[in-house]
Every structure is written in structure tokens, then in C-alpha cells.
Amino acid sequence: MSGTQVKRAFEYRFYPTEEQAAELSRTFGCVRKVYNLALDARTRAWFTEQRRVNYNETSAMLTAWKKSEDLAFLGEVSSVPLQQTLRHLQGAFTAFFDKRAKYPRFKSRKKSRASAEYTRSAFKWRDGQLTLAKMREPLNIVWSRPLPEGAEPSTVTVSRDSADRWFVSILVETSVNHHTPTDQAVGVDAGITSLATLSTGEKITNPKHSDRERARLAKAQRDLGRKEKGSNNRAKARLKVARVQAKIADRRRDHLHKVTTRLVSENQTVVIEDLSVRNMVNNRRLSRAISDASWAEMRSMLEYKCAWYGRDLVVIDRWFPSSKTCSECGKLTESMQLNVREWTCDGCGARHDRDINAAKNILAAGLAVTACGAGVRPQRETSRTGRPATKQELSDVSRMESPRL
């Protein structure tokens, strides 16, 4: 069975000592400061001189900043995370100029995730223990799963989330074996009531993790709103809110991993729609449910898992009328309201479940694309009428009084 060499990150929780927490907090602050300073310098250079500043120039600026009286504290932490954040900024500008991302934004102390990246020269890996630069003791890591045998870390990223949990992400190069080839293929129709409906007729239930914790989260948010800004009690209340939200996110991610791993292991070809989730969440009635379903994260997982394990992921055009087309005879129904969950084809008389029929059509379209060698169909950001791109099934929700999802 063939394998693929991939760079894979393994994330673990760790519990720093007071000294380590203080050192990492200083490093996080310096990383954020350098990023913002470099972004400001590059922005001013462009808008005042129409000049692009590259990584080498910002690296020279960093050396000058360290020598200045106001920014001398930058020299108290490891220089590697500071250089790495300049490289990240360079990557952000490259993506912007290639029109793959928006203009880089400044990092906020409250809203941005605190993190620092260390390359091989800034940490010591010995006997399964990790010691970062400027630290005397190794990190107290909870090894929830072992690293691949013989793997040597190339990059280490330390972070702290809003729930005050510390994580270390260890990047290693390892071999991933392809799954045994199979003739199975599946079409996946993403939904809200059901997280995904498969062309086999199976419906994968949406756990709706946000709903399970909604009362608890609402209470924590009300308590936060009553606390005085800047007080210790407000900080404690904010932490309670963050912990509830972190639990929801962890459960959602765990469920998506199980679903996508199963789809990839059982099928040689997985066919999905090209959904524009960013536009969908603008619908006020469905934004919470769409965010809780995390379709974008599910697609991301399918993409890298298919690449790792030798599977094919086919993405069809979001404007393909999967729900309104009969999977038996191919007749297209002119219009269909969202609350119509079952319907009968006027052409052949076949009775359809809306979602299962859509999944079958998605599979057929994906196999047709693969057979003709066309690859992934082109993506469009707007429809022919100029309206924002969105999932066809959700386009009429705003006009409906009580949609049944």
C-alpha cells in the first residue's frame, strides 16, 4: 500500500509553570507588537510612496526597533517568534496581492489568538521532552496520543485560547498510508436538520451542539453583561463564557472528524457542493444554525483527508439544481419552496425525499465531471442576476414566514 509524505501537526494541551506562563505571555505580546508595527510600516509605505516593503526590509526594521529605547523590551524574548511573525505577514501580503485574501488586519490583544511559532533553532527536543528558548524546564505536556515513531519536530507553535487553555502544536513530517482502493462513491448534501444526507439514503444527524449549551451560555453572557468593565469579576465572567464556547467548539470539531474520517475511509470518491458559507450566514434567520453546522470546516477536513489517504474529492457548482431535479428521469421542476421536504416528479411519478434526491444528483454530477475529465467546476461569487452567491435551497428563506428545516 503506497503512502504519502506529509507535514502533520499534532496538538496537545500543556500546563506551564508560573515562570513559563510569564515568559510566553511576554512573547505573545512582543509577537503581536512586531506584527502590528511591520503592518503599519508596510501600509504607510504603500499609501504614501506607492512602495512595497518586503520581508528583508521589515527584518532590518526589527533590528532597529530592538535598539530603540521605547522598544528595547523586544530583545528580552526569543528572536525566532518575532522573525516568524514577519514571515507570516509576508505570506498575508502575498495572498492579498494574489487576490486570495483580504488586506491584512492589525492584531488585537483581546480578539486575536495569542500564539508564537518556534523553529528548530529555538527549541530543544530530547527524550520526548520539549524545552523552548529562554526556558530552563521542559513543558509539562499531556501526551494524549504519541507522535509518529522517529518523527522529529520541525516547528512548534504555542498558543493560549480565550478559555485560558494552553496548547502546543508540533509539526512533523511523517508518512500516511493510502486506504485500500474501493469502487464506492458517495454524494453529500449538507443540511441543517441533518448535518449531511448521503446518496445512499442515510441521514447523519446534526447534534446541534450550540442548542445543547444555549441556556448555559445565555446565563454566562448575562452575568458577564452585569459586571463592571475592567473589574476582576468581569474577567472571571468572561472566562466562564469562553469555556462554554470552547466546549461547544470542541464537541463540534470532534463530531466532524468522526463523520469525515468515515466518509473518506468508506468511499473512493466523495462529491460535495461548492457552498458559499460566508454569504449564507448573512441570513439572520439561519446564521446561527449554519455556523453551528460548520460546513466550511467539514469541507476543509474532507480536502486534506482525501489528499492524505488517496481519495478523490469532487466539488460541483453551487448553482447545480440538485434539489429540483428528479434523480430518476432528470426532469427539472421550475420552483420549489424550502418547506417542501417531499415531492412527486411530474415526469415519472417518482416520490422523492428532498435531501436524498439532492444527494443522488450531486453524486451523479460529480461522477460526470470526473468521467469527462473536467475536474472541479468553476466557482462563481455571484449569480447571473448579480445577487450574492448562496446555497440554492436557502435562497428563498427570507421570504418565508415559518420555514421548516
Q: d(Cα 316, Cα 369) in Å, to the nearest integer?
A: 8
Q: Which residues sit opposite 384 in a β-bridge?
A: none
The CA distances from residue 392 to 90, 100, 404, in Å, are 37, 25, 16
Closest Cα partner for 171 from 8, 368, 335?
8
- The catalytically annotated residue of 189, 228, 312, 381 is 189
The grid cell for 90 is: 509576508
Report residue 294: phi and psi, to 5°: 55, 55
pLDDT digit string (tens) for 137-165?
999 999 999 999 888 999 999 999 999 99
Return the pLDDT at 167.
97
| CA–CA distance, 286 with 208 (Å, rounded to integer) | 13
396 as an active site residue: the answer is no
Q: Which fold has domain 185-206+245-372?
A: Nucleotidyltransferase; domain 5 (3.30.420)
- Go through 160-193 and write b for each residue having 16 or more CB atoms within 10 A of its CB, e for each that does not: bbbbeebbbbbbbebebeebeeeeebbbbbbbbe
**Distance from C-alpha of 101 to C-alpha of 104, rounded to nearest angstrom:** 8
pLDDT of residue 244: 94
CB 84 within 8 A of CB 30: no
Residue whose C-alpha is closest to residue 134's, from 12, 62, 26, 11:
26
Give the pLDDT confidence of 81-120 residue by residue, as tens digits.
999 999 999 999 999 999 999 999 999 988 888 999 999 9
Give the C-alpha separation, 85 to 159, whole Å: 14
Cα separation, 174 vs 189, in Å, equals: 33
Phi/psi at 248 (5° precision): -65, -45
Q: Which of 23, 117, 274, 355 is flagged as catalytic?
A: 355
Q: How far is CA 269 from CA 43, 188, 199, 258, 391, in A?
A: 45, 11, 12, 18, 22
CB 362 within 8 A of CB 187: yes
Q: Position 349: which residue type?
A: G
Over the stretch 254-264, which tens digit does the pLDDT of each residue have? 999 999 999 99
pTM greater than 0.85 (yes/no): no
C-alpha cell of 174?
511523517
**pLDDT digit string, tens, across residues 275-317:** 877 677 676 677 777 777 888 899 999 999 999 999 999 999 8
Give the mean pLDDT of 219-243. Answer: 94
> Which has the higher per-residue pLDDT, 94 or 344?
94
Residue 19 catalytic? no
Cell of 139: 513543558
Tens of pLDDT along 194-218? 899 999 999 998 888 888 888 999 9
- Is 353 designated active site? no
Q: Is the pLDDT of residue 384 over 90?
A: no
pLDDT digit string, tens, across residues 298-308 = 999 999 999 99
Q: Which is catalytic among the residues 273, 274, 346, 381?
A: 273
Task: Using DSSP bridges, classify how beta strands 166-177 and 155-160 pair: parallel, antiparallel or unpaired.
Answer: antiparallel
Could you give the residue range(s) of every CATH 3.30.420 domain in the chain?
A: 185-206+245-372
First-last CA distance in the chain: 43
Neighbouring residues of 49: CB distance < 8 A, sequence distance ≥ 6? none
SS3 letters across the chain: CCEEEEEEEEEEEECCCHHHHHHHHHHHHHHHHHHHHHHHHHHHHHHHHCCCCCHHHHHHHHHHHHHCCCCHHHHHCCHHHHHHHHHHHHHHHHHHHCCCCCCCCCCCCCCCCEEEEEEHHHEEEECCEEEECCCCCCCCECCCCCCCCCCCCCEEEEEECCCCCEEEEEEEEEEEECCCCCCCEEEEEECCCEEEEECCCCEEECCCHHHHCHHHHHHHHHHHHHCCCCCHHHHHHHHHHHHHHHHHHHHHHHHHHHHHHHHHHHCCEEEEECCCHHHHCCCCCCHHHHHHHCHHHHHHHHHHHHHHHCCEEEEECCCCCCCCECCCCCCECCCCCCCCCEEECCCCCCEEEHHHHHHHHHHHHHHHHHHHCCCCCCCCCECCCCCECCCHHHCCHHHCCCCCC
